[in-house]
Amino acid sequence: MAQAQKITPRAKDFSEWYGDVIMQAQLADYSPVRGCMVIRPHGYRMWELMQRALDDMIRETGHRNAYFPLFIPMSFFAKEAQHVEGFAKEVAVVTHTRLRATGKQGAEAIAVDPSSALEEPLVVRPTSETIIYAMFAKWIQSYRDLPLLLNQWANVVRWELRTRLFLRTTEFLWQEGHTAHVDEADAEREARLILGLYRRFAEEWMAMPVITGAKTESEKFAGALRTYALEALMQDNKALQAGTSHNLGQNFAKAFEVRYQTAAGGLEYVWNTSWGVTTRLIGALIMTHSDDNGLVAPPKLAPVQVAIVPIWKTDEEKQQLSAIGSRVKEDLEKAGLRVEFDARDNMKPGAKYFEWEGLGVPVRLEIGPRDLASGQVVLARRLGGKAPVPLQGVPASVTKALDEIQAALFAAARERREQNSIRGATKAQFIEFIKGRGGFAYGGFCGRGTCEAEIKQQTNATIRVLPDPEFRSKEAPKTCMWCGAPSIAEAVWAQAY
C-alpha cells in the first residue's frame, strides 16, 4: 500500500469504519448545520444512478412525476390524528418570513422581525401525504379519474436528535409515491406492486438481498392501514429498513374529503397508498458490501466502473501509453461503461490503485510497456484477483468481469444473511443470539403488543417484518417464541438501524 491505512477495521469498530469509508470515498461530509449532511459528487453520482434506475421502474409501472410545495399548512397535520402524532416530535416549523437589522454588532446585527409572524405557521414537509391529498380532493371527481398514480422526487426534513451520515439525517432526499384507488383491492395491489419493485431494485441494482413482509401494528407508518417493508442485514448483523410501501386505507381520504363518484352514481372515499425510498439506500449499500479497504460499489451503481492506470517511466512510454489508455477508455465508453483514465503525473501507480480502491471502483486496468508489447492489459478486481486480458476485446472482458462481480456480491450478501439467521429458537436461544452476534431471528409471534414491547425492552430487538410466504420457515411456528401462547404469524426479529 502506498499510503497508510486510514480506515478503522470493521471488527474493531463498525461505526467508525462506516464513517471512515464514507470519508475516504468522499461520498458525504458533515455540514455546518447540525444533523445535516453534504452529499459530495461521488456520493451524489451514486444517488443519481439509483434515481435513474428507480425512476425508470416507477414510470414503467404507470406512475408520473409531479412536484408539491416544501411547506405544509400546520392545520393540515391536525386532520389525520395518527399522522400528526407520528410526526409531531420531529417537524421544523416556519413561523416568520423576515429578518431585520437591529443596529447592534456581530451576531446580533440581525434578528427575526416579530412583525412578520405568519398567521398560520408552515411545517417543512416531513412527508407529503397531507398536501398531496388536499390536491387529490380537487382533482378526483369520478371513478374515471382513478387510479391516480403520482411520484415526487424531493427533500424532506425530520428533526432527528441522533444523526448518522446517510442513515439518519435531519434533511434527506427521497422519492414518495402517492396514489388513489377505487377500492381496497386495488390499493393493496399497488402497495404490493411497489414492494416488489423496490425488492427488484435492491437485489438487481444494489446486489442487496432483502426480506419483504408486513410491519406489525406498532411498527407501521403513522396513519396507515398496513405497512410493508423490505429489510436487509448489514455486516454488523443489524437490520436496516430499506424501503416501505403503505396501504393507507381511507384514513387520509376521509380527513381530506377525497371522494369520487362511482360508476353506479354513488359517492365513495378513495383508497390511498404511499411509498418511499431515501438516500439511506447509500448507507445500506456501503454496509452491505464494503470492506476494510474502503467502499465496494456494485458495478451497476458504481460512479466509476473502470479505472485505467498507466505505468510509465520514460517520456516515450508515457506518450505511447497515453494514446493507448485514451483509446481503451473510448472503447469502454462506447460499450456504455463509466470510465476514468488516470493519467496524473504526480502520483505513483500504487497510490492510484489505493485511491481507486477506496472509491469502490469494481475494475482497474493496469497498462504497462511490457503488457503492451504482449498485446494485453492487466484486469484487477476490487475484491481481489488479477489477470491479463487481450488488448483486443477489452470491453468484452471488462463487461464480463463487471457482471460476475455484480452477481458475486449478491450471492455473498445472501450467503452472509443466511449464515446469520436462526429459525425456531427458544426464548433463551433467542436472547443469546440477539444479544450475542445478532442477525435475523425467525420465530412464532402471538400478535400481542405487550410481547413486542417486552422483547424490545430486554433485547433492543424489534419485529422487522412478518415475512412474506417465500421467506417463512418450512414449518409454521405453533407458539409465540416469547410467551408460549399460540402463534398467529411467524416474525423476524433483529436489532435495527
* Contact positions with Zn ion (CB under 5 A) in 237-266: none
Say how far apart CA 306 and CA 207 lie, in whole Å: 18
Among 191, 480, 489, 491, interactor with Zn ion by CB under 5 A: 480
CB 72 within 8 Å of CB 198: no
Q: How far is the CB of 335 from Zn ion (least distance, A)?
A: 56
Total site size for Zn ion, rule CB under 5 A:
5
Q: How far is the CB of 461 from Zn ion (least distance, A)?
A: 14
Q: What ranges make up the beta strands (E) of 77-126? A: 93-96, 99-101, 110-112, 117-124
Give the residue from 204, 195, 203 showing the smallest Cα distance to 229.
Answer: 195
- 410 is a site residue for Zn ion (CB under 5 A): no
Q: How far is the CB of 481 from Zn ion (least distance, A)?
A: 7
Give the residue from 492, 487, 493, 490 showing the smallest Cα distance to 446.
Answer: 487
Q: How far is the CB of 83 from Zn ion (least distance, A)?
A: 29
Q: 72 vs 451, which CB is nearer to Zn ion? A: 451
- The distance from CA 39 to its chain's CA centroid, rounded to whole angstroms, is 14
Among 91, 118, 483, 496, interactor with Zn ion by CB under 5 A: 483
Q: 22 vs 451, which CB is nearer to Zn ion? A: 451
CA distances, 250 to each of 136, 268, 271, 275 (Å): 13, 10, 5, 16
Q: 135 vs 491, which CB is nearer to Zn ion? A: 491
Q: 132 vs 480, which CB is nearer to Zn ion? A: 480
The 8-class DSSP code of residue 72 comes to E
Angle formed by the axes of helices 315-334 and 394-419, nearest 10°: 70
Q: Between 170 and 189, how does the x/- string for binding to Zn ion read (CB under 5 A)?
A: --------------------
220, amino acid identity: K
Q: How far is the CB of 216 from Zn ion (least distance, A)?
A: 12
Q: Between 433 and 472, how does the x/- string for binding to Zn ion read (CB under 5 A)?
A: -------------x----x---------------------
Contacts 24+ apart (CB under 8 A), 415-418: 416/233, 416/235, 417/209, 417/232, 417/233
Among 252, 356, 430, 482, interactor with Zn ion by CB under 5 A: 482
Q: 328 vs 480, which CB is nearer to Zn ion? A: 480
Q: How far is the CB of 420 from Zn ion (least distance, A)?
A: 24
Say how far apart CA 246 and CA 194 lie, in whole Å: 9
Q: 17 vs 482, which CB is nearer to Zn ion? A: 482
Q: 398 vs 441, which CB is nearer to Zn ion? A: 441
Q: 39 vs 489, which CB is nearer to Zn ion? A: 489
Contacts 24+ apart (CB under 8 A), 400-403: 401/362, 401/363, 402/299, 402/305, 402/337, 402/362, 402/363, 403/299
**Which of these ranges, 7-15, 89-97, 379-387, 478-486, lies near Zn ion under the rule CB under 5 A?**
478-486
Cell of 363: 475494475
Q: How far is the CB of 490 from Zn ion (least distance, A)?
A: 13
Cell of 113: 422581525
CA distances, 172 to each of 119, 155, 280, 281 (Å): 28, 5, 8, 11
Q: How far is the CB of 439 from Zn ion (least distance, A)?
A: 21
Q: Catalog residues that contact Zn ion under the rule CB under 5 A.
A: 446, 451, 480, 482-483
